[in-house]
Amino acid sequence: MKATISIDPAELVISCREVIRFTGGTSCRAGDDLRSLALRMIARAAELIVPTYAYKICDIEQSARILEQAGQPAAASCPEPSDGIRCPTAALVICTLGPQLDLEAAKLNHASAHLESLLLHGAGLAALQNLAYRATTEISELLAGQHLYPCSRLEPGCNGIELELQSAIFNEVEPLPSGVSLNEYCVMDPPKSLSFIIAFTAHKGHQRDLGHLCQTCALQDCAYRKTTSQMGQSG
């Protein structure tokens, strides 16, 4: 099972709070002037992005091979049930916003509009996070009818997972979103792109809410990590 899905940019709600967090870190506090500028960059981002995601639902053999490449982080993220059956299915996902936002941010930076450039990048990161959550939710809903439940989201280059795993994802997902490629260093282009694996389990008791990734992420000292009180806040 595979598909490529395009999303209307208006459906990706980008909050001012998220843009400022991605620009200055969790501890950043913004005044009215910065919020006003952030809102302008959010509106500009919506004009530039082309949100798209592609995915492939792997069979049991492919899932086992991909998750084995992810190594210990994958094993730790889905506790093994007493009957020994773990993560029978994996979804491979590639998300992108297209190249135009990064090109516009580079132009702003070149014109010495550095703050505008940073906030536009922040808007792009918030939109990409929103797109990844949208993809995760829609794929999870698709598999819920097969009594399969998401237990982890694994990103190449994060939490001890080798960046080279992106090659395995790209080799399986087709067709790729338009314009997305992987270079010899396993870095994606355009920059506002993301690949990840969703591991699914047949045991509902091991299901996790993947909408709050900070709660399960091992990077405790991340500058962009949300606190418990910030989970679910918007604005």
Q: What is the structure's pLDDT at 216?
A: 52
Do 181 and 166 touch, CB atoms closer than 8 A? no
SS3 per residue for 68-82: HHHCHHHHHHCCCCC
Q: What is the structure's pLDDT at 49?
A: 97
pLDDT band at 139 (very low <50, low <70, confident <90, very high): very high
* Pairwise pLDDT comparison (39 vs 75), residue with the higher score: 39
Averaged confidence pLDDT in the chain: 83
Residue from 171, 163, 27, 196 nearest 96 by CA: 196
Q: Which residue has tokens 């006003």?
A: 36
Task: With a cut of 90, say whether residue 1 has pLDDT above it.
Answer: no
Q: What are the beta bridge partners of residue 54?
A: 4, 94
Instruction: Tell me the domains of the chain and their CATH numbers.
Output: 2-230 (3.40.109.40)
Q: Please compute the mean of the pLDDT values over residues 53-57 and round it to a whole number.
A: 95
Can you tell me the distance from the alpha carbon of 32 to that of 136, in angstroms, rounded to the nearest whole number?
34
Can you tell me the distance from the alpha carbon of 233 to that of 212, in angstroms, rounded to the nearest whole number?
11
pLDDT band at 89 (very low <50, low <70, confident <90, very high): confident
pTM to 2 decimal places: 0.84
What lies within 8 Å, CB to CB, of 151 at 6+ separation is 77, 78, 87, 199, 200, 201, 206, 207, 208
Which range (71-80, 93-102, 199-208) has the least confidence?
A: 71-80
pLDDT band at 212 (very low <50, low <70, confident <90, very high): low
Which range (26-35, 90-99, 163-172, 195-204) has the least confidence?
A: 26-35
Do 35 and 28 touch, CB atoms closer than 8 A? no
Residues of the chain with pLDDT > 90, as a percent, come to: 49
Q: Is 24 exposed, middle or buried (0-12, 13-18, 19+ CB in 10 A)?
A: middle
Do 26 and 230 touch, CB atoms closer than 8 A? yes
Do 177 and 232 touch, CB atoms closer than 8 A? no
Half-sphere exposure of 36 (CA within 13 A, CB side): 3
* Pairwise pLDDT comparison (71 vs 122), residue with the higher score: 122
pLDDT digits (tens, 9 = 90+) for 152-173: 888 898 877 889 899 989 999 9
Q: What is the structure's pLDDT at 2?
A: 87
Q: What is the structure's pLDDT at 85?
A: 47
Q: Which amino acid is at 118?
A: L
Full DSSP string of 196-208: EEEEEES-GGG--
pLDDT band at 229 (very low <50, low <70, confident <90, very high): very low
